[in-house]
Amino acid sequence: MKKIFSIILILVFAGIVLKSCIRADIPSGCDIKNTKLTDNSVQYPEGQKNVTINGVDYLQTQAPVGKFGGKIVISTIGEGPKTLNPCSTKDATSSSMAGLLYDGLVTTNPVTGEVEPLLAKSFEINGNDYIIHLRKGIKWTDGNPITADDVIYTYKEIVFKGLGNPSAMDAMTVEGKLPELVKLDDYTVKYTTYKPFAPFLRQLSYPIVPKHYFKPYSDKGAKSFDTFLSPNTNPEKIVSSGAFKLKEYVAAQRVIFERNPNYYKINLENKQLPYLDRLVYLIVGDTNNEILKFEAKEIDALSLRGDNVARYKEREDNSDYKVYNLGADTGTMFIAINLNDRKNAQGKYYVEPKKQRWFRNKEFRRAIDWAIDRKSMVQNIAFGVAKPLFTSESLNSIYLNKKIKGHNYDSNKAREILKKAGFNNKNGILYDNDGYKVEFDLYTNAGNLERESIGVMIKQDLEDLGMKVNFKPIEFNSLVNKLTNTYDWDMVIMGLTGSPLEPHDGKNVWTSTGSLHLFNMGAGENIYPWEKELDEIFERGALKLSFEERKPIYDRYQEIISEENPIIYLYSPIRITAIRKKFGNIFPTPLSGLLYNLDEIYIK
């Protein structure tokens, strides 16, 4: 999964020393900077700065001063977080909640997309050297200081060893080599990359964890580390650094975070943030239940589905909520096809041999691409609040290959492709050239009504070609296990979060050794020539420092995915969110969404 950044996004302009051009990866006048919200929202206040008080290097917001106290209640679909260990998360819910607990060295400006210090007070770049100066005097929730030792431990003992989710290690590897990291003093570290490496600075958003708390578990190995910090961990024992700390977890019901009184961010009156006393996640079973809870005023914010947008917008003026249009989603929705042709340790094929022949046939995949009616999905599932998607980069990505135009739904074209590929339709049933009926399973995560609706439509589209599709929504943990451990699946409807600023964040999806190379996991040397080209692209693209040099390289990767269709993209929703009018310091941006600055939000 593309890295999900910690969503407390802060601008700092004091103390940043740039010895080389690091902003060349975002072109001037890029889409992110120029995207306008339809509601003409108040702009996120720039000019935040470092302020040292009694030896503590605070980060001062320039947002209007708010009131302390109260809570915000939001929701999450499914069964809640699987872990609170930020190094082991593999799903969006766990990542967002663990991200509340642990900050990284840097973050991304919510308006401009620029890389800015967070736990770091400042940074310098000299060629391949990245010198990070940490904030002095800031502390973990147990009172211990946050120092260079924590940074060294996080990277050398966790990231560089691939503990937890190895995606960060994948993303930092250049030609098989990880960066060097040394401690210069208690509050200064230096990274040295093997070669000039454009995405590197953004990788430093990885959450820093407390050495004294994590090390006993990492020392015991991967199994111990992966089970460390389950949601059932005693909240009083959790040592963290974020604006909020865990207060309570009730399985399948709620997760409650409370204010961290020792957080290092302050307001214009030099009072420590956050304003809110509590942040509550209600765990809801599905999107219908989520809507009911918003209507009952049990939750304060709601991501609107297409069928609800018009109704909520019409009622807005006489309601207690405001609706925001945040533009195209930064993630992607797709079908992945399992191309794996290997056997497991017991000698059983992950995918049946006959299905392997279908799935590994490029023309079979191309026929599916033509048979999917994306426009009907946009109209009937997203109610027009979306656009068809044909690329592996999201529609708001500055690296989007706009030459890939896609095509309209054409079942006749799909039938023609299948016939030329040796498939035959007899009495409405599709057979391969060995006489086998074309039948397979299509999975998605249960409770996500949008994906379940997509599954129903895809089943209909493909059965129109004579394929038998067994659509199976299953619990999310079981689905993740199939995708990343047992590999016993045929096709799946999934979504991945992502950064519209950095394609390299998807390296773990597209490179053959990546931890989320879903369509051919663990294939080793048994990969397609186009997979080898993807490996080369993601190595080469990271070593080019300017947007102008990198753009054609990442255009090519999108062309390969569009041509080969191991993953078939569906549509990109427009993000529309409603939130109660009682909250202040709401500054939505197309890049970061609505609630990225939870530490600054208050009740009016």
Write the pLDDT tens digit of every residue in 119-143. 999 999 999 999 999 999 999 999 9
pLDDT of 468 strictly over 80: yes
Min mean pLDDT across 26-30, 530-534, 559-563 is at 26-30
Among 450, 452, 434, 428, which residue's Cα sits nearest to residue 442?
Answer: 452
pLDDT of 229 strictly over 50: yes
The residue-averaged pLDDT of 352-363 equals: 96
Q: In this structure, which amino acid lies at residue 277?
A: D
Q: How far is residue 303 from each of residues 75, 385, 418, 519, measured CA to CA in Å?
A: 10, 12, 39, 30
Q: Which residues pair with 493 in a beta bridge?
A: 335
- H-run or E-run covering 214: helix 211-218
Q: Which residues pair with 117 in a beta bridge?
A: 106
pLDDT of 410 strictly over 90: yes
Q: 17-300+582-603 belongs to which homologous superfamily? A: Periplasmic binding protein-like II (3.40.190.10)
What is the C-alpha separation between 588 and 596, in angstroms, rounded?
8
* Per-position DSSP letters for 494-506, written without gaps between them: EEE---TT-GGGG
Q: What is the pLDDT at residue 328? A: 87
Min mean pLDDT across 39-53, 75-89, 206-220 is at 39-53
Structure tokens at 341: 């042709």
Q: How far is residue 544 from each of residues 37, 200, 315, measured CA to CA in Å?
A: 32, 12, 50
Q: What is the pLDDT at residue 1? A: 35
Q: How far is residue 481 from each of residues 90, 226, 283, 458, 471, measured CA to CA in Å?
A: 11, 14, 21, 23, 18
Min mean pLDDT across 12-26, 245-259, 524-538 is at 12-26
Say which residues have a Cβ less than 8 Å from residue 496's Cβ, sequence separation at least 6: 1, 2, 331, 332, 334, 506, 509, 516
Q: What is the pLDDT at residue 163? A: 94
Structure tokens at 526: 């048994």
Average pLDDT of the chain is 90
- Please, which pLDDT band fits residue 262 given cuts at 50, 70 and 90? very high
CATH number of 332-574: 3.10.105.10
- Please, which pLDDT band fits residue 443 given cuts at 50, 70 and 90? very high
Say which residues have a Cβ less than 8 Å from residue 111's Cβ, sequence separation at least 6: 11, 33, 43, 44, 46, 589, 591
Among 358, 363, 379, 456, which residue's Cα sits nearest to residue 415?
Answer: 363
Highest-pLDDT range among 441-450, 538-547, 594-603: 594-603
Task: Say what percent of the chain tops pLDDT 70.
Answer: 93
What is the C-alpha separation between 499 and 108, in angstroms, rounded?
10
Cβ atoms 302, 551 nearer than 8 A: no
Structure tokens at 295: 């209507």
Write the pLDDT tens digit of every residue in 338-347. 999 988 888 8
Q: How far apart are the first and last CA of the chain?
A: 37
CB crowding 370-405: b at 16 or more within 10 Å, else e: bbbbbeebbeebbeebbbbbbbbbbbbbbbbbeebe
pLDDT of 482 strictly over 70: yes
- Please, which pLDDT band fits residue 334 given cuts at 50, 70 and 90? very high
CB crowding 217-245: b at 16 or more within 10 Å, else e: bbeeeeeebbebbebeeebeebbbbbbbb
The residue-averaged pLDDT of 31-53 equals: 63
Q: Which residues pair with 53 in a beta bridge?
A: 56
Side by side, which strands form the sheet with 71-77? 71-77, 278-284, 254-259, 244-250
Q: Which residue has the higher pLDDT, 111 or 2?
A: 111
Cβ atoms 488, 350 nearer than 8 A: yes
Q: What is the pLDDT at residue 33? A: 39
Task: Say what percent of the chain tops pLDDT 90.
Answer: 74
pLDDT of 455 strictly over 70: yes
What is the C-alpha separation between 594 and 157, in angstroms, rounded?
34
Instruction: Tell how strand 332-337 and strand 71-77 pair up.
Output: unpaired
Q: What is the pLDDT at residue 523? A: 77
pLDDT of 575 strictly over 70: yes
Same fold, 17-300+582-603 and 332-574: no
The residue-averaged pLDDT of 87-106 equals: 93
For tokens 């190595």, the residue is: 539
Write the pLDDT tens digit of every residue in 2-37. 333 222 222 222 222 222 223 344 444 343 333 344
Question: Computed over its alpha carbons, how large is the radius of gyration of the chain?
Answer: 24
pLDDT of 40 strictly over 80: no
The full set of domain ranges for the chain reads: 17-300+582-603, 332-574
Write the pLDDT tens digit of every residue in 169-206. 988 988 889 999 999 999 999 999 999 988 999 999 99
Structure tokens at 359: 């799935």
Among 203, 185, 32, 204, which residue's Cα sits nearest to residue 118?
Answer: 204
The residue-averaged pLDDT of 553-564 equals: 97
Instruction: Tell how strand 439-445 and strand 468-474 pair up.
Output: parallel
Structure tokens at 262: 């020792």
CA angle 101, 84, 134 (to 5 degrees): 35
- Within its chain, how far is the Cα of 192 from the centroid? 27
Q: What is the pLDDT at residue 90? A: 82
Q: What is the pLDDT at residue 42? A: 58
Q: How many residues belong to the chain?
A: 604
Among 391, 425, 421, 386, which residue's Cα sits nearest to residue 406?
Answer: 391
Helix (H, G, I), strand (E, B) or coil at 201: helix
Q: What is the pLDDT at residue 462? A: 98
